[in-house]
Amino acid sequence: MTSHQNAAGWVAVVLAAGRGTRMRSRLPKVLHPVAGRTMVRHVCEAVRAAGCEQIVVVTADAHDEVAEAVRASIPGAVIAVQGEPLGTGHAALAARAATGDASRVLILNGDLPLLTERTVRELMQRHDASNSMLTFLTAFLGDPTGYGRVMRRMGKVVGIVEETETDATTRGTPEVNVGLYAANAEWLWPTLSAVTPSPRGEIYLTDIIARAVEHPEGAQAYTIVESAEAQQVNTRVELSRAEQLMRERIRERLMLDGVTLIDPSTTYIDAGVIVGEDTTLLPGVHILGESQIGGGCRIGPGAVLRDMRIGDRCEIGGSTLEGSSLADDVTVGPYSHVRPDSTIEAGVHLGNYAEVKASRVGARTQVGHFSYIGDSDVGCDVNIGAGTITANYDGVDKHRTVIGDGAFIGSDSVLVAPVTVGAKARTAAGAVVTHDVEAGSLVLGVPARVRPQREGV
């Protein structure tokens, strides 16, 4: 199934309205991040990647945190409201109207962040290729605790026993219900409507499996070999397991794509991060958010990069870089901080203890040692002396500093914004620059003035 065309007639229903009480959190369960992305986003992205465009997410309220997060991160997804969380079957029914005339329905629990596109696609294909009313995913786990157990008689699936309803004989059953189902709509909706509440007062989606068995074509199970995909998240212990599994998966993908990880276990990379070939990540590196790193870079040890765009051949010593871009051949740190909205052009050197915020730093410019460059536009081939400060804040407002191409800012200069230093101008060491400096001139002193012309000088 490679195109949307093949997934035509399918709609996915993602269940995300549960209270998630076992998480003991104020944040709804499906919004807890795994490798930097919410669980519900992971699930929806696997569905989309599998070719199913139409997604209905069931939430407790049309405008709660989950609904808003889905609107922001899953374009085109439709919200269906469950209201009272009366069980997974009740949640699926809440999506019925929103699924329109789709003939096949994929139902997924929202707490399965490790499900892959491949597995989702495979399940849909198997369902399409069969006459079953229902195809669902199972896995064999060393420890099945917390999952519904799959009951078989003479090899045939006969139903699911939920964790709370297991007894001494069913508890040890290693085959579990993962929480991914494909069903024929015309069978699913009436069947689900007929399910009666469990002893705990919930309508279990899993009860439709026993119903499907009554049908001649029955239910078929598709068992995955890669049991990591079955990792659900009910508690924070499971959340940490899912996080670990996801990070391992991401690291392996990067290594197979040509990235060297010196110590994978201490290298943290969020889902969706792109890293180019022959980049080396040293121990203790974190690459987070929507970062894209070029090839041939050397990063770390101990660098934290969030939402960064980085070109090729950059060298980044243990530094923190956020929400900014670095062109090719930039060197940073160690111990530098690039704050959001900064554009660092090719060949720039930001040395130790350089802080840059909301600034452009032009090509080949050197900021060798402890400096603060904020709200500034620094040209190309500028030298920023050690200890240079752009004093951008007057206590009320922020102001901009402009430094022209080829300027030389002497050590310990303070540039009191708003101020412009012209191209090729110079400031002497210790200058406090309160007025604009003309191109090509030299200023010195406190406050800085143009050097008086003396005879013979």
Q: Is 346 helix (H, G, I), strand (E, B) or coil?
A: coil
- Respond yes or no: is residue 369 known to be catalytic: yes
Q: Which of 88, 184, 279, 401 binds ligand UD1 (CB under 6 A)?
A: 88
Task: Work out whether 227 is an interface residue with Ca ion (CB under 5 A).
Answer: no
Decide whether 92 or 348 has the Cβ nearer to ligand UD1: 92
Nearest approach, Cβ of 60 to ligand UD1 (angstroms)? 8
Measured between alpha carbons, how far is 165 from 143 in angstroms, rounded to an integer? 17
208 touches ligand UD1 by CB under 6 A: no
Q: Which is nearer to ligand UD1, 150 or 288 (CB)?
A: 150
Tokens of 233: 């998240």
Instruction: Confirm or reject binding of residue 401 to ligand UD1 (CB under 6 A).
Output: no
- DSSP 3-state assignment of 251? helix
Q: Minimum CB separation from ligand UD1 for residue 372, in Å? A: 46
Q: For residue 322, state whether it binds ligand UD1 (rule: CB under 6 A).
A: no
Residue for token digits 């849909």?
A: 124
Interface with ligand UD1 (CB under 6 A), residue from 160, 213, 327, 414: 160
Residue number with CB closer to Ca ion (234 or 266): 234
Tally: H helices and E strands in the chain: 7, 40
Distance of closest approach, residue 109 Cβ to ligand UD1, in angstroms: 4
Residue (14 or 299) nearer to ligand UD1, CB: 14
Compute the least distance from the CB of residue 123 to ligand UD1, in Å: 14
**Site map 46..75 versus ligand UD1, x via CB under 6 A:** ------------x-----------------
One DSSP character per residue, 192-253 reads HHTPPPPTTS---TTHHHHHHHHSSS-EEEEEES-GGGG---SSHHHHHHHHHHHHHHHHHH
Q: Is 159 in the site for ligand UD1 (CB under 6 A)?
A: no
Given the DSSP bridges, would you call strands 442-444 and 449-450 parallel, antiparallel or unpaired? antiparallel
- Give the largest CA-CA distance in the chain: 109
| β strands within 24-102, DSSP E | 33-34, 37-38, 55-59, 78-81
Contacts of residue 369, defined as CB under 8 A and 6 or more positions apart, other chains included, come to 351, 352, 353, 354, 386, 387
Angle at 148 between CA 143 and CA 151, to 5 degrees: 95
- Residue 111 as a binder of Ca ion (CB under 5 A): the answer is yes
Q: For residues 159 and 362, which CB has a smaller minimum distance to ligand UD1 in the complex? A: 159
Task: Report yes or no: 266 and 248 within 8 Å, Cβ to Cβ.
Answer: no
State the catalytic residue, choosing from 286, 337, 369, 435. Answer: 369
The span from the CA of 72 to the CA of 66, in Å, is 10
Contact 148, 166 (CB under 8 A): no
Q: Could you say whether residue 176 binds ligand UD1 (CB under 6 A)?
A: yes
**Shortest Å distance, C-beta 232 to Ca ion:** 4
Q: Is position 54 an interface residue for Ca ion (rule: CB under 5 A)? A: no
Exposure on the CB side of residue 48, measured as CA atoms within 13 A: 14
The reply to whether 82 sits near ligand UD1 by the rule CB under 6 A is yes
Smallest separation, CB 43 to Ca ion (Å): 12
State which amino acid sits at residue 453: Q
State which residue, 187 or 204, has the beta carbon closest to Ca ion.
Answer: 204
Residue closest to ligand UD1 when measured from CB atoms = 148
Return phi, psi of residue 165, to 5°: -110, 10
Stretch that binds ligand UD1, among 11-19, 295-303, 338-346, 419-427 (CB under 6 A): 11-19
Interface with ligand UD1 includes 162 (CB under 6 A)?
Answer: yes
Looking at 232, 319, 336, 401, which residue binds Ca ion (CB under 5 A)? 232
| Residue 19 CB burial class (10 angstroms; 0-12, 13-18, ≥19) | exposed
Q: Are 409 and 403 in contact (CB under 8 A)?
A: yes
Give the residue, chosen from 6, 73, 198, 234, that forms a contact with Ca ion under the rule CB under 5 A: 234
Across-strand partners of 150? Answer: 160
Q: Shortest distance, CB of residue 91 to ligand UD1, whole angstroms?
A: 3
CB of 221 to ligand UD1, least distance (A): 13
Task: Give me the least distance between CB of 58 and Ca ion, in Å please.
Answer: 14
Task: Say if residues 30 and 110 touch (Cβ distance below 8 Å).
Answer: yes
Give me the torsion for CA of 43, 174, 144, 200, rounded to 10°.
90
**What is the residue-wise DSSP string for 107-150?**
EEETT-TT--HHHHHHHHHHHHHS--SEEEEEEE-S--TTSPEE
Site for ligand UD1 contains 224 (CB under 6 A) = no
Q: Is 229 in the site for ligand UD1 (CB under 6 A)?
A: no
Q: Which of 138, 232, 342, 376: binder of ligand UD1 (CB under 6 A)?
A: 232
List 113, 148, 404, 410, residue binding ligand UD1 (CB under 6 A): 148
State which residue, 80 or 133, has the beta carbon closest to ligand UD1.
Answer: 80
The number of residues making up the chain comes to 457
Residue 362: strand, helix, or coil: coil
List the catalytic residues.
369
* Interacting residues with ligand UD1 (CB under 6 A): 15-18, 30, 58, 82, 85-88, 90-91, 109-112, 147-148, 160, 162, 176-179, 204-206, 232, 234
| Binding residues for Ca ion (CB under 5 A) | 111, 232, 234
